[in-house]
Structure 1
Amino acid sequence: MFKKARIGSLDRALSRRSILESAAAFLSVPFIAKATAAWAQEKLAGSGEVVVFSYGGSYTQGVRKNVYEPFTKATGIAVVDVTADIAEPQVRAMNRAGRVDWDVALIDGQNYPTMHEAGLFQPVDYSLWDDEALKGAPQSARLSDAVVAFRSTTLLAYDERSFPKGGPQNWTDFWNVKAFPGPRGLSAVARHMVLALAADGVPNSDRWPLTDDKVDRALRKLAEIKPSIAKWWTAGGEPVQALINREFVMTSCYDGRALSAIRQGAPIRMVWSGGNLVYVYWTVLKGGPNNGNAQKFVAYLNRAQSAAGFTLGTNLTGPNVNQLLHLPANIVPLLSITEENASQVVPQDDAWLAAKRPDGKTNVDHLQERWLAWRAQ
């Protein structure tokens, strides 16, 4: 059963979480509910409820059908989903007020370090995890007080109709307007200037931290392609729609958005080489009303069949690689956790972005200032 508390507006629910995409056609995975029910009853059975932050829209529809309903059926714990644009301001405000009304929240990777240092999260109870989940989710995804909920990669996507003999294979090709002519799109997010470093030959291992000399190099490279950029997109749905409408021949794009469009038949190809990988974390909030149920919820999410349900329902991919055994074969090559795709992307240095410079500004704020100044030229 479900209860729902409403915070904010559905019209704004995806304003920053623009990587979320429509998944209405993929909301039926009964095999997952059956497979996870027996497992969940071993350690995760309970009663009452758990209050979980949600982005709203198609994300909430997909996760309810594919994760929350099976979780409730298997454990007896009801899910109350609260909807807002983003979780971080509310989590901080509840903590300051000494009244935490939520149990579980999704926290962006670049916000996690400072919130971790502030002690806003409970340690994750990994004793509730089964052996398969612990082995399937890499240690890097299992922090002391947070677990990767999903991976989001900003990658190169192109319209295969524009390049019937073969499209771009990397960011160097994106910059090659002679070999691959046509209008392009690029993200207006400042940290995505790292994609220009890939185009300029910077090895993946040297991309981060994005020091001042690398910023200078990235902006010089961006100046070369700037005349071919038809739009600096801001909302996650823009690049996919522009490709479908043939407004772009290629663009930077969130992998979840591209995956959703491809599953619905769009002629889009994904290129993983040099993509920028970010993490969003599940966290159990300190002082939440249902801590025990929250720990069971997080443990359930990271079992392979549950992770597969999350992927099918949201087109966002959690870290447990064992879910690949429970997904349709045509979807697997399009996910960031396959060995081939994972080897080509570069994890964003969230700790560096959150760190303060000598002038007291964070690195991410400094990057934004440099970016806006360059865009204004």
Structure 2
Amino acid sequence: MTNQNAGDGSFCGLSRRSLLQSSAALLSLPLIAQITSAWAQETLAGSGEVVAFTWGGSYTEGVRRYVFEPFKQATGIKVVEAVGDLPVPLVKAMHHAGRVDWDIAYLPRKNYPEMHEAGMFVPIDYSLWDQESLDGTPPEARLKDAVYIDHNSEVLAYDPRAFPDGGPQTWVDFWDVKKFPGPRGLYASRGQNNIRYALIASGFTKKDMWPLTDDKLDIAFKKLNEIKPHISKWWSAGGEPAQLLINREYAVTSIYDGRAIAAIRQGASIKFSWEGAHVGPTLGVVLKGGPNTNNAQKLLAFLNRAQIAAGFTQATGYPGPNSNQLKYLPPDLAPLLSINPVNASKFIIDDFAWLQTKRADGKTNEDYIQERWLAWRAA
């Protein structure tokens, strides 16, 4: 397949280029071939190509094998990959230049309102989705002109070798260094999640978490002062927490769910809890003015089919929103995912509107929180 380079870098602190280390988690080709052959004459059939963003590396290798290539087999439409880590600036640049070279792009939820208001996207054609996709994908994940592509989450993980009688399950436990002794880890660069963990440890629930007022921030930073001496390393790269747990340099840490799941499925001694976890969606959009809009609509509809969504989840470690994929996933994987209803009841979703609201000084609430975090880290 042809590649269009979309630049390099990192996205929300997590490089997606090295997510997969083992092919053991992937679906078999015969299953995919059997599924997709039955769809070849459906309404998704077409011709030509579609230019779709993808994160590159092993992420793209998995998506190519279990989404893009089956899509071509089923529909006759070729996927041209726009590979990179920072799509948002490029999408904005294409829009302002009046020349849009891509059809599908990904973006974090926080960037959606501004770009939506600027008219950068076309409405999603949900009439192309089968009923199983619509039934399994909650309404909040199906926006008028965007759809959740995946969820990336930050969870509490621990080394069970350090806690033979049972490890920490909540952020209250994370702060309890007497009951659960050992070196800790937290993400260095972005403080918002750590602040929310500190509030949970201070007695706040997800119902009274938002908004993050100055009074709540003061409480959070006071609580963070308690745990700061026990943080043996502030991790910055996505692969660090799992490796430090394996090496016994951490007893307990925050970690990206995809990293934890990949390590567990490769035999690592790691357990994790969804209590108080942070979950952030990545949105997929069809770009206004793109060269192959109709084909882009068909690719999004195909990606959200339950069987294909299951392949995507196994290929990337990050589940799409269609919960009907759970019945097509291995029994050892389904209980670990954010879309499992048991887990979904435990995590906390950002108040995206509040975070992007501007304060009197012109800064967004999110920028203000990050400034306070960086000042606290530097103190």
Q: TM-score, normalised by structure 1?
A: 0.96
- Runs of 5+ in structure 1 lacking a partner? none
Map 1:181-192 → 2, pairs under 5 A: 181-188=181-188, 189-192=190-193
Aligned to 2:207: 205
Instruction: State the alpha-carbon separation in 1 of the partners of residues 48 and 284 from structure 2.
Output: 20
Listed one character per residue, the Cα deviations across residues 129-179 of structure 1 (whole Å, up to 9, x for unaligned) are: 111100010111100011011111211011111112110010000000011
SS of equivalent to 1:236? coil
Instruction: State the alpha-carbon separation in 2 of the partners of residues 16 and 86 from structure 1.
Output: 11
Instruction: State the alpha-carbon separation in 2 of the partners of residues 71 and 334 from structure 1.
Output: 27
Aligned 8 A contact 2:206 2:348 in 1: yes
Paired residue type of 2:214: D
Q: 1:264 to 1:240 in 2, by over 3 A?
A: same
Aligned 8 A contact 1:13 1:56 in 2: no
Question: How far has the Cα of 1:14 moved from its partner?
Answer: 6.3
Paired residue type of 2:19: E
Instruction: State the alpha-carbon separation in 2 of the partners of residues 364 and 15 from structure 1.
Output: 14
Aligned to 1:327: 329
Matched, 1:354 2:356: yes
RMSD, matched Cα: 1.4
Map 1:80-95 → 2, pairs under 5 A: 80-95=80-95
Question: How far has the Cα of 1:350 moved from its partner?
Answer: 1.7
Aligned to 1:148: 148
Aligned to 1:179: 179
Aligned 8 A contact 1:148 1:282 in 2: yes
Aligned with residue 250 of structure 2, among 230, 248, 251: 248
Aligned to 1:70: 70
Aligned to 1:299: 301
Paired residue type of 1:328: P
Aligned with residue 18 of structure 1, among 8, 11, 15: 15
Aligned to 1:54: 54
Paired residue type of 2:97: A
Instruction: State the alpha-carbon separation in 1 of the partners of residues 210 and 278 from structure 2.
Output: 11
- Runs of 5+ in structure 2 lacking a partner? none
Aligned to 2:28: 29
SS of equivalent to 2:255? strand
Question: How far has the Cα of 1:13 moved from its partner?
Answer: 5.9
Map 1:337-352 → 2, pairs under 5 A: 337-352=339-354
Aligned 8 A contact 1:23 1:62 in 2: no
Aligned 8 A contact 1:159 1:250 in 2: yes
Paired residue type of 1:121: F
Paired residue type of 1:4: N
Paired residue type of 1:21: L
Aligned to 2:6: 7
SS of equivalent to 1:261? helix
Aligned 8 A contact 2:6 2:90 in 1: no
Instruction: State the alpha-carbon separation in 2 of the partners of residues 243 and 68 from structure 1.
Output: 35
Instruction: State the alpha-carbon separation in 2 of the partners of residues 70 and 256 from structure 1.
Output: 24
Q: Aligned pairs, how many?
A: 374
Q: 1:23 to 1:321 in 2, by over 3 A?
A: farther
Matched, 1:336 2:342: no
Instruction: State the alpha-carbon separation in 1 of the partners of residues 178 and 41 from structure 2.
Output: 60
Instruction: State the alpha-carbon separation in 1 of the partners of residues 37 and 161 from structure 2.
Output: 44
SS of equivalent to 1:42? coil
Aligned to 2:198: 196
Map 1:96-175 → 2, pairs under 5 A: 96-175=96-175
Instruction: State the alpha-carbon separation in 1 of the partners of residues 12 and 115 from structure 2.
Output: 22
Aligned to 2:287: 285
Question: How far has the Cα of 1:40 moved from its partner?
Answer: 5.4
Instruction: State the alpha-carbon separation in 2 of the partners of residues 38 and 23 from structure 1.
Output: 31
Instruction: State the alpha-carbon separation in 2 of the partners of residues 331 and 194 from structure 1.
Output: 27
Paired residue type of 1:62: G
Aligned to 2:315: 313
Instruction: State the alpha-carbon separation in 2 of the partners of residues 13 and 371 from structure 1.
Output: 20
Percent sequence identity over matched residues?
A: 57
Question: How far has the Cα of 1:302 moved from its partner?
Answer: 0.7
